[in-house]
Amino acid sequence: MRGRWTVVGGLALVVVVCWAWISAMALDMHGTMAGPAAWMMTAGWDWPHLLLLFAMWSAMMVAMMLPSVVPALLQFARIIDREPDARCSALRTAAFAAGYVFAWTLFSLAATIALRALTRAQLLTPVMEPAMPAFASALLLSAGGYQLLPFKRRCLSSSRSPAAFAAYRPRPGMTDAFRTGTGHGLSCLASCWVLMLLLFAGGVMNLTVIAALTLLVLFEKIAPLGVRSTVVTGGVLIGLGLWVLAR
């Protein structure tokens, strides 16, 4: 039990550090850009700058998505504790969390590539905000439509906890824990990836948008009405997309 909460405490510290870095960059980006966001003011995106951009996306995904995995993490730890051989349960729980983060790291890599492509296509400004309302509207409409799909609801149902591990039978070793965490992360990714694209619609470093998406994902993952709420959120996003387009 103590090891389980040690892992949760460590993850909480990681989330706080990621939020602190993202917040500092966001505030500096809308200020002097002489502090934590100064590296973004570059004329040439070489490999060091691209790695920093990838690190920024990875930290943002950890800050946004890791809180929502805590119920699944605790359920996974409880299942391990019931096994006859429950040794290294804390390490296996940490491996599960690492697998979940790995899945969202893959998304961060894709988002880094997409951001550079959208910037070169002049759909995003140098400060990573939409260059034209039509682009933001298209993203909102796409996200709203995705929320209404049966596929979205199936992915969300499979990623919600603790039901996600109702039939899980763990095998010994860290590899199985990492693989299980990765699978859970990919299920969550399938449910939420279009919502994450709304960062391009509202501004990648817009703290209000980041916080709103974090709360939305958390609500979908843990609230009793999370799955059924997709109809409401889908309608709201479509309405917002049409309003942006009309303006």
Residue tagged 């930290």 (tokens)? 59
What is the amino acid identity at position 8?
A: V
Find out whether 3 and 89 touch, Cβ atoms under 8 Å.
Answer: yes
Q: What is the pLDDT of residues 14-54, one digit of tens each?
A: 999 999 999 999 999 887 888 888 888 877 889 999 999 99
Mean pLDDT on 91-117: 94
Q: What is the rounded distance in angstroms from the CA atom of residue 218 to the CA atom of residue 209?
A: 14
pLDDT of 31 reads: 79
Contacts (Cβ under 8 Å, ≥6 apart) of 59: 18, 21, 22
Find out whether 181 and 65 touch, Cβ atoms under 8 Å.
Answer: no
pLDDT band of 159, cuts 50, 70, 90: confident
Mean pLDDT on 76-81: 80
Select from 97, 96, 89 the least CA-distant residue to 176: 96
Structure tokens at 32: 């002097």
pLDDT of 234 reads: 95
Does residue 139 have a pLDDT over 90? yes
Q: What is the span of the domain harbouring residue 209?
A: 2-246
pLDDT of 232 reads: 92
Does residue 85 have a pLDDT over 70? no
The number of folded domains in the chain is 1
Mean pLDDT on 205-219: 94
DSSP 39: G
Does residue 122 have a pLDDT over 60? yes
Select the highest-mean-pLDDT range: 97-101, 158-162, 168-172.
Answer: 97-101
Contacts (Cβ under 8 Å, ≥6 apart) of 237: 140, 141, 143, 144, 147, 198
Contacts (Cβ under 8 Å, ≥6 apart) of 149: none
